Amino acid sequence: MAHVPPTRVSDNPIIAFFQYVWSAAYTTAKGLRVTGYNAMRRPRVTVCYPLEQLDISPRTRARHRLLTDEQGEPLCIACGQCQRTCPDHCVVVTRKKVTVTTPEGEEKQVNRPDTFTIDLARCMYCNLCAEACPVNCLHLTREFSYIEGDVRALTIDLDGLLRPEPLSEYELRQRETAQLAPGDGEEG
Amino acid sequence: MAERGWLENWVNGIVQPLYEVAPWIVHLVPILWILILIVGSVLILIWAERKVSADIQSRVGPLHHGPYGLFQSIWDALKLLTKEDTIPKQADRLVFCVAPYIVFLPAILAYVVIPVGNGLIAADLNVGLWYLVAVGSIAVLGIIVAGWASNNKWSLLGGMRAAAQLITYEIPMFLSVVVIIMMAGTLSLDQIVRSQSGGSWSLAPPDAPFLNWNCFTLPGMIAAVLYLVAALAEVNRQPFDLPESESELVSGFNTEYSGMRFGIFFVAEFSNTALVSGIAATLFFGGWSSPIVSEGEGFWRIFGDGVLWYFVKITILIYCMMWVKWTLPRVRIDQMLQIAWKGLIPLALINIAIAVAHVAWVGA
């Protein structure tokens, strides 16, 4: 809206009265024009959220996910860095030994998570666990909608962290770096 | 028309025996008609209010109950009916319970004299306009009483504001209506509508003058604007919703009301909105008279004089009232009084002078 200079009010009371009436009518009409324009505007600004969604920022940090290799095995080495770094103490990892066959054909003992739980209700999505992860395997996805009727159901375990959905472009890139990271099982 | 004959037989078959047993049954017909009119218009208006506000704010509005959320207001009513109805401990119980109905009463009473269609009028009083003005001032009584009986300072403040506002705005409202009385020369609303009918946009010869609605004369035009502004204040709609003003007085006079008693205040607000636009349509915009053809043949019969045009006109007027509501912020109490005493009333008096000149030179 253009800036409107204040109306000069006449000294003559009769002229001032009509100026008053005119300014009332004029400003009302101006306001009606603005809202009338908005009423006809399509598409509308808001969307019907659960039915349609706007794109959310690619840097959104929400529900966690553990990356897997091409065979569907988790890349996590159960080092516990995420558990140690978590300011909210909402990550719990336990470890188990697993024998895997390397591409060269030799058998190798590696650490894998036995259980891996994250309490989403306590998590503040600070991303520190993902940054601490030495194999870039834990990260926070953009999936922000996970409503439960019971707060205890918000504690997700290994099954909840290994999502069946296909990896996004970002996650594929993340996995490349994950396999470049120092090899697993060094801790023994 | 063949259908009419069939319908007449059918109606006579049922109504005639009933009428012979109980002649007072004829009085139920207009009552039923008025109730259907009010309930129907309120249900649609609550939905429309939310859709129009959503439109203006670029939102979507109610969506899920029925097509375009049309049944939303039915769900709202059901919700209100099932809610707990609380009465404050210190309230004046009898007055507290009666107040919502006093606010609702004038809407029903006033519909008695509104001609919705050609001959479709519950009672054509020869003092119809006086009756309207007299009945219209009952609502304020209900609002003051509701504010007083709640024993709550916000309610009382709301009631007092309502008193100041409604008494103030009745003056420009009636002064603008006087102009119509002068031009039509009658107080009967049916006669006022008939004096405006017969014109059309098309100016088709031989006997079609341009629209002779009152709003196309200079005094009538000014009076229409004045009436609509005063009517906004009379029904407590924004920008004159000072009795409610939820940001200052919690909810004003209905703060302590809950459940269906609150619902009745709600219904009263919307039926009063429909009512004042109905009065405006009747007085200034030709009521049920058609702007296209007054009689019409074949297909055009639908667009002739009749109920359709009444509803088209009040729809447009109500849309404008909602448009204003979602455009202008609430005025302060001193501004509210200033608009009436320093703006509308002098204008209305000047307008009466214009009307005198109009009647003298142009003729009624």
- Closest B-chain CA to A39: B56
Judged against a pLDDT cut of 80, whether residue B9 lies above it is answered with no
Q: Does B364 touch chain A (CB under 8 A)?
A: no
Main-chain dihedrals φ then ψ at residue A111, nearest 5 degrees? -85, 135
Task: Considering only the beta carbons, identify the residue of A20, A24, A48 that sits closest to B63.
Answer: A48
Q: Does the beta-carbon distance from A28 to B58 stay under 8 Å?
A: no
Judged against a pLDDT cut of 80, whether residue B120 lies above it is answered with no
Q: Does B347 touch chain A (CB under 8 A)?
A: yes
- Out of 2.40.50.140, 3.30.930.10, 3.30.70.3270, 3.40.50.300, select the CATH number for domain A64-180: 3.30.70.3270
Q: Is the peptide bond before B239 cis (omega within 30 degrees of 0)?
A: yes
Q: Does the beta-carbon distance from B323 to A46 stay under 8 Å?
A: no
What confidence tens digit (pLDDT) does each residue in A117-131 have? 999 889 999 889 988
Nearest-angstrom CA–CA distance, B191 and A103 = 100
**What is the reported pLDDT for B58?**
84
Q: Does the beta-carbon distance from B342 to A17 stay under 8 Å?
A: yes
Asked if residue B107 lies in contact with residue B97, where contact means CB atoms within 8 angstroms, the answer is no
Q: Is B146 left (phi over 0), alpha (psi -120 to 50) or beta?
A: alpha
Q: How far is B215 from chain A (nearest CA, A)?
A: 17
Provide the pairing of β-strand A64-66 with A107-119.
unpaired
Nearest-angstrom CA–CA distance, A62 and A8 = 57
**What is the reported pLDDT for B92?**
82
Task: Considering only the beta carbons, identify the residue of B58, B323, B339 that sits closest to A46.
Answer: B58
| A93's tokens | 């990892």
Q: What is the pLDDT averaged over residues B88-96?
A: 83
Neighbours of A128 (CB within 10 A): 16
Q: Does the beta-carbon distance from B342 to A31 stay under 8 Å?
A: no
Query: pLDDT grade, residue B4 (50/70/90)?
Result: low
> Where exactly are the structural domains of chain B?
88-361
Q: Does the beta-carbon distance from B323 to A36 stay under 8 Å?
A: yes
Task: Considering only the beta carbons, identify the residue of B326, B343, B347 that sits closest to A35.
Answer: B326
**What is the reported pLDDT for A92?**
92
Q: What is the pLDDT averaged over residues B287-300?
A: 71
**What is the reported pLDDT for B12?**
73
- Closest A-chain CA to B53: A39
Q: How far is A28 from chain B (nearest CA, A)?
A: 7
| Chain A residues 81-100 within an 8 A CB cutoff of chain B | none
Give me the helices (H) in A101-187, please. 128-132, 158-161, 169-180
Quick one: DSSP state of residue B23?
Answer: G
Decide which of A163 and B274 is more confident: B274
Mean pLDDT of chain A: 80
Judged against a pLDDT cut of 50, whether residue B256 lies above it is answered with yes
Judged against a pLDDT cut of 80, whether residue B203 lies above it is answered with no
Q: Does A21 touch chain B (CB under 8 A)?
A: yes
What confidence tens digit (pLDDT) does each residue in B175-192 have? 998 988 888 888 888 888
A28 contacts in chain B (CB < 8 Å)? 324, 327-328
Query: Among A102-106, A175-179, B79-83, B248-252, where is mean pLDDT lowest?
Result: A175-179
On whether the pTM is more than 0.95, the answer is no
Query: pLDDT grade, residue B364 (50/70/90)?
Result: low
Task: Considering only the beta carbons, identify the residue of B52, B339, B346 that sits closest to A17.
Answer: B346
> Where exactly are the structural domains of chain A?
12-45, 64-180
Burial of A137 (0-12, 13-18, 19+ CB in 10 A): buried
Query: Among A173-177, B45-49, B181-185, B352-356, where is mean pLDDT lowest?
Result: A173-177
Q: Does A38 touch chain B (CB under 8 A)?
A: yes
Task: Classify B103 as helix, strand or coil.
Answer: helix
Q: What is the pLDDT averaged over residues B271-288?
A: 87
Mean pLDDT of chain B: 82
Query: Among A91-95, A173-177, B245-249, B340-344, where is mean pLDDT lowest?
Result: A173-177
Task: Classify A65 as helix, strand or coil.
Answer: strand
| Chain B residues 72-111 within an 8 A CB cutoff of chain A | none
**If you compute the radius of gyration of chain B from its CA atoms, what whole number of angstroms results?**
22
Q: Does the beta-carbon distance from A34 to B327 stay under 8 Å?
A: yes
What confidence tens digit (pLDDT) does each residue in B312-346 have? 888 999 999 889 988 888 888 888 888 888 888 98
Query: pLDDT grade, residue A182 (50/70/90)?
Result: very low
Judged against a pLDDT cut of 70, whether residue A56 lies above it is answered with yes
A35 contacts in chain B (CB < 8 Å)? 56, 323, 326-327
- Closest A-chain CA to B319: A36
Query: pLDDT grade, residue B349 (50/70/90)?
Result: very high
**Shortest CA distance to B131 belongs to which of B194, B187, B193, B170?**
B187
What confidence tens digit (pLDDT) does each residue in B43-65 have? 888 888 888 888 888 888 888 88
B346 contacts in chain A (CB < 8 Å)? 17
**If you compute the radius of gyration of chain A from its CA atoms, what whole number of angstroms results?**
30
Q: Does A42 touch chain B (CB under 8 A)?
A: no
A41 contacts in chain B (CB < 8 Å)? 58
